[in-house]
Amino acid sequence: MTDYKTPLAKVRGLGSAKDGTHHWFTHRITALANIPLVIFFVVSFVGNAGKGHDEWVAWLKQPLVSVLMILFVANFTHHMRLGLQVLIEDYVHTPGTKMFSLIMVNFACILIAAISIFSVLRIAFGG
């Protein structure tokens, strides 16, 4: 097949969306970071199963736990945003609906992250 790409376009490797492999690669890196964070999350939840409000708050107030929880939320919502975007790009083909869904999914993921992280901070710094 004839290659019409200029040498500069080839070396930049950014493709028609001018984004290169950034989306794909970030999805993999957030997946990798999710592995230890999910283990932390699951082990913590099993360890605190059946506990009351005071105990849960005392657990989340620990600096390391607060930081890990914020990292977990930030990382998985980023991973989720990238993943849901691919689903829409693959399955929604009506141009208007596609753009609308993409924007809404991006907003929703960031909103979930903001609400969750704010709650962790409120507990961490609360009296």
Partner 1 sequence: MAKAKRPLSPHLQVYRWGAHMAVSILHRATGSALAVGSILLAWWLVAMATGHDYFNTVQGYAGSALGRIVLFGLTFALMQHLASGIRHLYMDAGKLYDLKVNTLSAKATFVVSIVLTIVIWVAAYKVMGVL
Footprint of partner 1 on 31-50 (CB under 8 A): 31-32, 34-35, 38, 42, 45-50
Q: How far is the CB of 7 from partner 1 (least distance, A)?
A: 27
Q: Which amino acid is at 34?
A: N
- Residue 122 binds to partner 1 (criterion: CB under 8 A): yes
Report d(CA 106, CA 98) in Å as an integer.
Answer: 12
Report d(CA 113, CA 72) in Å as an integer.
Answer: 10
Is the CB of 9 or the CB of 57 nearer to partner 1? 57
Is the CB of 13 or the CB of 95 nearer to partner 1? 95
Contact (Cβ atoms closer than 8 angstroms) between residue 110 and residue 77: yes
**SS3 label, residue 111:** helix
Q: Which one of 14, 58, 67, 87 is in contact with partner 1 (CB under 8 A)? A: 87
